Structure 1
């Protein structure tokens, strides 16, 4: 069947269902809303799981828009309720951090890091250790997806220049970015969301999650070193290019702003306030055109979040969430082991952001330990499979464009056992500190 015919048929079916729904042709309006909300949620989760629609050229952001529109079109949510469902603080924080990271990129920060650090490294194992901890640390202070986007090309360039197998180092970038980002509320999109929804102080969460993240980075180093011991048993001499441009003023200014944003956040200021003020200050620039900053803003991610807020709010209002609760009773979900397992499983089935939006209804606002477990484990779960985190896919796609193939099997051999072991340790840790 031709594409335009498929689009016409789907559009016609939607219009007919909408007409029937509007004129009250379905006997029980409440049941009808549950059914429609369930179908919208199912379609959304399928696209999020696969990364795109199996029929049409619809990605995650597009499905979020479609799902949110249908929630209002079928009257499950009014336009006012849809707007209220959007967590503006989360969107502001994500956008503001993207502005900060864009300035870091334009200043040549990642190139500068490579120049300063990697020129002092002469063995494969030392290079692996540097890649793991740099990726982990950077991902704890800026969103890990962006770190992978900007840091992966640097790692590939170094590997090709010193003629070493890039696979272990690319696996290190992806997995370390997930592990490192797990220890803060600004390390990845789902943790930004949790930081906004919960009442957990940022410093308190860092103290509880940092030991697990640090242990995870050590375990990752040991796992890759064991698996790729022959590839890492090399020596080399890396010399950086002298023609790389570093904007020292912009770099200094951006690092100071980022440091102040983090410090003020840790002492108790609202992150959306400090991050937006920092981003606004960076946009006051006489040297860089604003268009260059906006080019690095991931608007797809922002749209995806906005749509998901509306979709999940529609699911809640329709009553479908009560039906889900009958299969996962809230009283049992308060137990850390079961809740943690559900966070890991859901994060790998539907991606970690939708998993957080669904599981948040099982957590009372004052249940800080469950919020912390959700933030840590939904992020660590990203290392279970290659599809568990968008950061993983970013690394693989960038490598693919450079002619380097990272397979699911290569990822699984490291990520699966590492995630299972680290998750068990995390659950025991939260039971201990609870």
Structure 2
């Protein structure tokens, strides 16, 4: 490898350590790392800002910005308080029952929307309901973002890596439902059971608070009925466009930013006030992270790793499947699964072709998708949804550290990928 490649690897490792140890704020670390990557020539302004393969993913940035604007307007209607009271009453104030309800709701929504949109909608509700019941919000936020990453694996539109894989492999929405939904459903159930043990310290039942919540009326939480009605129409249109975006040939980012700006325009709210609720730090963190990962792609580090795996499993379909499933976990956990899938996807396409084409070797794409999707639970930066939830939590006074997240995430990732590996083996090699 060249000197620049070694320097890029060193910079990335140093930034990762800073983020993990929290010696420097994650936003400062990511942006600082991006600047250094530009200075050492690991990437260039042209690639960093304009390359689809090795630069800032503006689709993700504008998708996030659009949904943050929508959430900021919705917040002023009182609908999050409404949903929080409803959830608390349905759970009767019982902490574990509430967590299971949030896990199931989040997993279901993430399959039909996308995981970033889902957590933007669910996280504020979670914080409010925990405040109402006197519960620590962090365990519930971590649990629901993990359920989001698992549930999002079920469909073509549920997780950004799935959209990228579906586009490259020519896989349809129904293909994902048939092959990914069964295992995703099973893993959500397994995770709900695991949550009873992992987050038991957060299950503090306060009978007095529960009684007070049961006496509340959800309807009283709504502050602006007109704005809620208008917001509801915009949100429904946005969600329908998300589901049909492949048919309409409109990118989700365009749908989201259009919906956010339209809702801001018709809401009669001051733009400055709404913009104040946007998670600008989260967007800045993503920007820096994309530039750093783009530098890793540009220097060939990620592609070299993928090609080495391809050579090691050449001609062995089962071995290649397991290598893609388990081999995708570590890099996806370290560099974010979106750029990982973007850079290694072409390598997987070559392996599929060499193994007999899509009809014979489609299992490789399913193994790749499962590995990348499930690895999103391993660390804070492994999935876009994780970064968004951490940002929302910080703004609400609930700090989630890198290791606090990872000590749960690594366990969940290990268990879910092991079950996914068993699923791939049974379905495609034993029962096929």
TM-score band, normalised by the shorter chain?
Answer: 0.7 to 0.9
Pairs within 5 Å for 1:103-118 = 103-108=70-75, 109-118=79-88
Contact 2:115 2:385 in 1 (8 A): yes
Sort the Cα spacing of 1:428 and 1:399 in 2 relative to 1 into closer, same or farther, 3 A: same
CA displacement 1:103-156 (0-9 Å, x = unmatched): 144123544432444333303332122111222233334553564455334323
Q: Residue 424 of structure 1: CA displacement?
A: 1.9
Q: Distance in 1 between matches of 2:253 and 2:400?
A: 35
Contact 2:67 2:117 in 1 (8 A): no
Sort the Cα spacing of 1:403 and 1:282 in 2 relative to 1 into closer, same or farther, 3 A: closer
Sort the Cα spacing of 1:389 and 1:252 in 2 relative to 1 into closer, same or farther, 3 A: closer
Q: Which residue of 1 aligns with 2:355?
A: none
Q: Residue 101 of structure 1: CA displacement?
A: 4.9
1:92 aligns with 2:70: no
Q: Residue 193 of structure 1: CA displacement?
A: 4.6
Q: Residue 220 of structure 1: CA displacement?
A: 1.7
CA displacement 1:342-367 (0-9 Å, x = unmatched): 11122233343443344334211765
Sort the Cα spacing of 1:54 and 1:279 in 2 relative to 1 into closer, same or farther, 3 A: closer
- Say how many residue pairs are matched: 394
Moved more, 63-72 or 243-252: 63-72
Q: Distance in 1 between matches of 2:371 and 2:274?
A: 32
1:256 aligns with 2:236: yes
Q: Distance in 1 between matches of 2:131 and 2:295?
A: 44
Q: Which residue of 1 aligns with 2:258?
A: 280
Pairs within 5 Å for 1:20-419 = 34-48=2-16, 50-51=18-19, 58-68=28-38, 70-71=40-41, 79=46, 83-86=50-53, 91-92=58-59, 94-96=61-63, 98-108=65-75, 109-122=79-92, 123-145=94-116, 147-148=118-119, 151-164=122-135, 166=137, 168-191=139-162, 193-194=164-165, 197-227=168-198, 231=203, 236-237=210-211, 238=213, 239=216, 242-246=220-224, 247-265=227-245, 268-272=247-251, 275-277=253-255, 279-280=257-258, 282-284=260-262, 285-287=265-267, 288=269, 296=278, 299-300=283-284, 303-304=287-288, 307=291, 310-316=294-300, 324=305, 327-330=308-311, 332=313, 335-364=320-349, 368-384=362-378, 388-389=382-383, 391-392=385-386, 395=389, 414-419=408-413
Task: Give the alignment's Cα RMSD to 1 decimal.
Answer: 4.2
Q: Distance in 2 between matches of 1:213 and 1:356?
A: 19
Q: Distance in 2 between matches of 1:51 and 1:352?
A: 17
Q: Distance in 1 between matches of 2:147 and 2:402?
A: 17
Q: Which residue of 2 aligns with 1:19?
A: none
Sort the Cα spacing of 1:146 and 1:140 in 2 relative to 1 into closer, same or farther, 3 A: same
- Which structure: larger Rg? 1
Contact 1:49 1:349 in 2 (8 A): no
Contact 1:223 1:414 in 2 (8 A): no
Contact 2:85 2:129 in 1 (8 A): no
Q: Residue 229 of structure 1: CA displacement?
A: 6.0
1:422 aligns with 2:413: no
User: What secondary structure is seen at the aligned counterpart in 2 of 1:132?
Assistant: helix
User: What secondary structure is seen at the aligned counterpart in 1 of 2:229?
Assistant: helix
Structure 1: gaps (5+ residues): 1-30
Structure 2: gaps (5+ residues): 353-357
Sort the Cα spacing of 1:259 and 1:387 in 2 relative to 1 into closer, same or farther, 3 A: closer
Q: Distance in 1 between matches of 2:337 and 2:47?
A: 27
Q: What TM-score do you get using the length of structure 1 for normalisation?
A: 0.72
Q: Distance in 1 between matches of 2:395 and 2:256?
A: 34
